Every structure is written in C-alpha cells, then in structure tokens.
Amino acid sequence: MNNQEIILDVKNLNTSFISDRKQVDIVKSVSFQVKRGTTLSVVGESGCGKSVTMNSIMRFLGSNARVSADNIQYNALRDGEITEYHLETYKKSNGPEMRALRGPDMSMVFQDPMSSLNPVYKVGDQVAEGLIQHTGMGKKEAREKVLELFRKLGIPDPESRIDCYPHQFSGGMKQRVVIAIAMICNPELIICDEPTTALDVTIQAQIMELLKDLQVNEGKSIVLITHNMGLVAEMADEVCVMYMGRVVEFGSLEDVFDHTSHPYTKALLRSVPVLGLADGQILETIPGITPNPADIKGGCDFADRCPDCTERCRQGVIPAFEIAKGHRVRCLKYDSFPEVNG
C-alpha cells in the first residue's frame, strides 16, 4: 500500500513512564496503520494502553514519559500531493512542528468533554481560537465558520448558543463543542478517545452517527477508541485489539469478528452483552485479572488467563503471525504462519 492509501503508519512504538526512579513499560512494540478515509477501532480492557498509545502519537505525554518508535509517519494529502511527517522525530509536544499539524491535519477528541472545555470562556470563542491561530482569520469571519460548523454538528439555535458558557450546555451538546474544536481546522485524521462514554445512549448514537457521516461523506480518517464492541461493529473498517500494551490481534472488522483468532479477542467478544440471551445462558467474563504492568514476566501476557496456554507460551517474546492478508495475531497457536511486525 502506498502513502496515498495510508494516512498514519505506526511502527514499533514503545512508551514507558518513569516513576519513583523505576521504568514501567506501558506500550510495547505497537504497530498499526490507518487507511485513509476509513475508521480504525482500538479496543481492549481498561489500562491496556489505548490512550497512552494515542497520546504518544500526538505527543501529549508529560516529561515522565519515554516514547520511541521506528516510525510514526503521517502522510498529509494536500491538493493531490503527499507530504510525509515523521512524528517520532518531534521531541516536544508543544514544539512548532506538532503544533502546526495539530488542528489542520490531525486532532483528538477526548473522553470527558468537561475537562476539555475551559469553563470561563464562551464556547464559540473556544472553537474559533484554533482557526484564528492556524489561519490568522479575523474574529468575524471565524465566528461565521463556527456557526456553520455548529449547524452541521446539530447544535440547535447556534446564533445564541455560540455565546454560551460550557455550564449552560448539556453533556451531549458539550461533546459536540469538543468535536467542533477538533473539526474547526478541517483535519483529515480525527482520533476519538472514548468520545461518548460520558453520555447517555441516545446521545451516544447521535454522536456516532455524526462521526460516521464525517467519515463516509467527507472522507475523514477516524481512530475510535472504545470499550463498546457494538459500536465497533457499527463503525469500524479495521480493528486493533490491545492487551497489556501490545497489539494481540489486528485485521478487518470481518477478520476480527467473524474469524476471531486470539484467545483474548475470543474472550472479549464472548463477554459482550447481547439482547435475548437464551434461558439459563449467562454472560461470560474473562477469568483471572489483568496483571500489573510493573511486574511482567516473559512470555505471553495473557498466558495465566488463556484456556489454550502451553509451556511454550511462558517464554520469550511472542511474535505476531499473519494468518491471512492483513490479519495478524500474536499467539503461538499460529506459528506455522509467517512472522510479521507486531
């Protein structure tokens, strides 16, 4: 696949945190690609490193983080031309290179709308700020652009809403404002970190519809982090399953849902509540607990919880195997297939 087709190419990303002089490895050899104009869903249980992975890419982490990667390549497509950016070479999150890309090229929607909005500024000014900064546009023109975007995002009565403060908005409306901040400079890649967990289900459905619309009708590329496998089924073209800081399975929605291969993905999908469980059928949970990232032994991180674990699984680093084109699984059950970058 060429740079036109791939918008983000992450190879061998590692992130550690230093605390109390100890280094804890959180993201380990993570590799994935986002195809232009598609949605990639990143799933995995709480604490597996989904947010740290995205924050490493966006350079949002603090000074106790150590991030390294062979490649974090963003391929910008402007007027039919590709420009490559190597984000792994940018040292500072607030440095000029990253600041220039954040907003007009790639942006992030965070989980909690309240912590992303400043309570003392009018919502309209918060949305306009990025546009004024990046384009030098005048206030009046920027206000028109914000109104246009509010209308598109389904914020009712935008002319009066634009001058409200965040506390005057409901949770769903606040999240729309956060999405507006991410969208105002018209980025091609939007990373959404659980954008709807703080919202009730009807609002969640509306926000998801909005994101789907942006992807389908405007060709945006979306990375959607979520716990909700139902949303993944509705939204994703490709799925990246993480466990303990590693990608354990990656493939198309069909690969991961219909040809589920990693024992962890199987367990994750079995533990999804479905309507109409048969009489006597109970929802499964994944046995055991997630290990603490600080005391990891060698071998497969899922070994202690895996029904198929053998002695071999407890040694060394488990590679990923490509079991079908684009479908890779980090499990020794598949070691007859070619080994690939994880």
Ligand X SMILES: Nc1ncnc2c1ncn2[C@@H]1O[C@H](COP(=O)(O)OP(=O)(O)OP(=O)(O)O)[C@@H](O)[C@H]1O
Chain residues in the site for ligand X (CB under 6 A): 17, 19, 26, 44, 46-52, 62, 64, 293
Minimum distance from residue 296 beta carbon to Mg ion (Å):
19
Query: Which amino acid is located at 211 in the chain?
Result: L
Kindly give, in sequence order, each residue whose CB lies less than 8 Å from that of residue 11, ignoring residues fewer than 6 positions away.
31, 69, 70, 71, 72, 341
Minimum distance from residue 45 beta carbon to Mg ion (Å):
11
How many residues touch Mg ion (CB under 5 A)? 1
CA nearest to 218, candidates 39, 339, 91? 39
DSSP β-bridge partners for residue 8: 34, 74
CA nearest to 67, candidates 84, 83, 47, 49? 49
Residue 293 interacts with which of Mg ion, ligand X, none, CB < 5 to 8 Å by class: ligand X
Residue 330 interacts with which of ligand X, Mg ion, none, CB < 5 to 8 Å by class: none
Minimum distance from residue 230 beta carbon to ligand X (Å):
16
Cβ-closest position to Mg ion: 51
Q: Taking the CA atoms of the chain, what radius of gyration do you get in angstroms?
A: 21
Whichever of 56 and 221 has its CB closer to ligand X, that residue is: 56
Residue 283 is encoded by which pair of tokens? 């929802």
Whichever of 26 and 183 has its CB closer to ligand X, that residue is: 26
Whichever of 45 and 97 has its CB closer to Mg ion, that residue is: 45
Binding-residue pattern over the window 50 to 89 for Mg ion, x denoting contact by CB under 5 A: -x--------------------------------------
Whichever of 19 and 133 has its CB closer to ligand X, that residue is: 19
Minimum distance from residue 43 beta carbon to Mg ion (Å):
11
**Cα 265 vs. chain centroid, distance in angstroms?**
17
* Residue 248 main-chain phi, psi, to 5 deg: -100, -25
Minimum distance from residue 92 beta carbon to ligand X (Å):
16
Residue 46 interacts with which of Mg ion, ligand X, none, CB < 5 to 8 Å by class: ligand X
Site for Mg ion in 28-57 (CB under 5 A): 51
Cβ pair 271, 285 in contact under 8 A? yes
Query: Which amino acid is located at 52 in the chain?
Result: V
Give the Cα separation of 253 and 40 in Å (integer). 9
Whichever of 36 and 50 has its CB closer to ligand X, that residue is: 50
Q: Where are the beta strands (DSSP E) in 87-201?
A: 106-109, 189-193
Minimum distance from residue 27 beta carbon to Mg ion (Å):
12
DSSP 36-92: TT-EEEEE--TTSSHHHHHHHHTT---TTEEEE-SEEEEEEEETTEEEEEEGGG---
Residue 17 interacts with which of Mg ion, ligand X, none, CB < 5 to 8 Å by class: ligand X
Footprint of Mg ion (CB under 5 A): 51
